[in-house]
Amino acid sequence: MSIQTVSTQPFADQKPGTSGLRKSVPIFQQPNYLHNFVQSIFDSLEGYQGETLVLGGDGRYFNREAIQIILKIAAANGWGRVKVGHHGILSTPATSCVIRQYNAFGGIVLSASHNPGGPNADFGIKYNIGNGGPAPEKVTEAIFARSKEITEYKILDAPDVDLDTLGETQLGSLVVEVIDSVADYQALMESLFDFERIRALLSSGAFRLCIDSMHAVTGPYAHAIFEQRLGAPAGTVRGGVPLEDFGGGHPDPNLTYAHDLVEIMFKDDGPDFGAASDGDGDRNMILGRNFFVNPSDSLAILAANAKLVPGYKDGLAGIARSMPT
């Protein structure tokens, strides 16, 4: 394995927004396009050498290829460890959780959120800082400035890493740790909510759920938490296998694109509670039997009853601008 320094030229369109850099897959597949942006991220940071980076994505087309590129660039730039999600899967909330849980320096999320996936659809990359949140404007502006003047990037000449086997492998001086995508996030949820009371409700048969993961990132989380840990019957989760093209669907949880869930919930014998989530797992739609819950109402209900939840028994420190985000 050897570190290569590759000459390159800037791309003029690599200005990230609050949701990172989003472009079509063919644009990201241009020679050096992703390489330039990743190197620009690293060049704009200080003090990351030897530190831990968290990495994963929503499973869309080009996710696995992008992860291999990022791992090799990280190895060439002196990162100490990368925690990468099993099969390359890691939701946006889980990425934040893992960053905070292990005091990582930061993280990279590969997603275009609710945009469609596929060879001619969308892809995205965003950097999260050490508090688990998205990079602030100061950081994104520095990344963009660097992307406009970059002349070379460093990459390790090495075989691809096995993303399908849990455990550690060495990539030059970098330790690549393939982690369970769900475990840390599930542990966090269990520390906040009364899982035993929820399990008693769901296993009683008196309260039925339907969870539509829309063949996006939340499928493994929904299967593990709702069906396996909380006792909901098998089949509660729909679209639970992440697919590169989201099964040909549009992973935007609304009444139009989650119409299959809407039809189920508006049947006379429909479940009591329904939910759908978006591509990277940070937005949702809530339904009851024969009714739709506006996102602002979801937030109001949660805020009004927050003290009933063990993790928030002392009250809320603040409230986000909307329930989905």
pLDDT digits (tens, 9 = 90+) for 161-204: 999 999 999 999 999 999 999 999 999 999 999 999 999 999 99
d(CA 145, CA 260): 44
Indicate whether 322 belongs to any domain: no
113 shares its domain with 41: yes
pLDDT digits (tens, 9 = 90+) for 80-105: 999 999 999 999 999 999 999 999 99
Indicate whether 319 belongs to any domain: no
Number of structural domains the chain divides into: 2
Indicate whether 306 belongs to any domain: no
30 shares its domain with 66: yes
Cβ pair 200, 207 in contact under 8 A: no
Which domain, by its residues, includes 235?
193-293
Indicate whether 49 belongs to any domain: yes
CATH of the domain at 101: 3.40.120.10
Of 181, 213, 237, the residue at which a domain comes to its end is 181
Catalytic machinery residues: 113
- Distances from the Cα of 124 to the Cα of 27, 135, 212, 258, angstroms: 11, 14, 23, 22
93 shares its domain with 233: no
220 shares its domain with 130: no
93 shares its domain with 203: no
Of 123, 152, 181, the residue at which a domain comes to its end is 181
User: How many other CB atoms sit within 10 Å of the CB of residue 300?
Assistant: 13
- Distances from the Cα of 73 to the Cα of 42, 79, 110, 137, 304, angstroms: 9, 9, 15, 24, 47
DSSP code for 144:
H
d(CA 284, CA 254): 8
Judged against a pLDDT cut of 60, whether residue 322 lies above it is answered with no
Give me the count of residues in the chain: 325
31 shares its domain with 154: yes
pLDDT digits (tens, 9 = 90+) for 203-246: 998 999 999 999 999 999 999 999 999 999 999 999 999 999 99
Indicate whether 315 belongs to any domain: no
Of 181, 215, 249, the residue at which a domain comes to its end is 181
pTM listed for this prediction: 0.94
283 shares its domain with 207: yes
28 shares its domain with 138: yes
30 shares its domain with 177: yes
Let me know the angle formed at the C-alpha of 303 by 302 and 309, rounded to the nearest 5 degrees. Answer: 65
